[in-house]
Amino acid sequence: MTEFPTSLLDGFDRFKAERFARDHSLYRSLAEHGQTPAVMVIACCDSRTAPETIFQAAPGEMFVVRNVANLVPPYEPDGAYHGTSAALEFAVQSLHVRHIVVLGHGGCGGVRAALQRSGAPLSPDDFIGKWMSQLRPLVGKMRAPDQSSEDELQTVVERASVRNSITNLRSFPYVANLENRRELSLHGAWFDIAEGKLWTMNPSTGKFAVAK
């Protein structure tokens, strides 16, 4: 039998000795009274971009869902399994979050794969291939001859994907309804891993600017 990773056990020991010991009363309160986060973050699975680390959030402050390339699919109540949509429904309908942040990042592997002209290394029959096919229309629009480099094109698509996910969020009736009533706000952001900079999206223009 394969043993549980020692590195995780060591990390848990540090967590118990440091953060849990410091915030024990907070964890107990969350356990007894439940969570009431004001913010939902939809982020990428990428191991370098944990929202709780980037935003230094305390336990209970953020409801986070992570998937490949931080995509929000459109509203499709078709009886299939929709993990991101289920998390969104729970956050909005049950937890009553006030803000939803779609957090993209630089060097996204999912976006890079979607930009490969050959489709490699993703087969059309793979789960990830089908998932990333959501970006195909965006890639077609963005792949212009005046793009000076693949890296620049990737950044353009990463940010366009954030805008597209926010558009898809509005296809969920309860999201659109609450936003229209000013009870829910939608936000876009993009994290530069190498420089440690956060770019936020202007809700009126869709353009990104450095926040920090």
Q: At 122, is the pLDDT very low, low, confident or very high (cuts 50, 70, 90)?
A: low
End-to-end CA distance of the chain: 47
**Helices within 62-149 (DSSP H only):** 83-89, 109-115, 127-132, 136-142
CATH 2.40.40.20 correct for 35-210: no
Q: What is the pLDDT of residues 25-84, one digit of tens each?
A: 999 999 999 999 999 999 999 999 999 999 999 999 999 999 999 999 999 999 889 999
CA distance linking residue 33 with residue 78, whole number of Å: 34
Q: What is the pLDDT of residues 153-207, one digit of tens each?
A: 899 999 999 999 999 999 999 999 999 999 999 999 999 999 999 999 999 999 9
Compute the average pLDDT of residues 96-120: 88
Residue 143 predicted with pLDDT over 80: no
Residue 96 predicted with pLDDT over 80: yes
CA distance linking residue 21 with residue 66, whole number of Å: 27
Which residues of the chain are in CATH 3.40.1050.10 domains? Answer: 35-210
Evaluate whether 100 touches 203 at the Cβ level (below 8 Å).
no
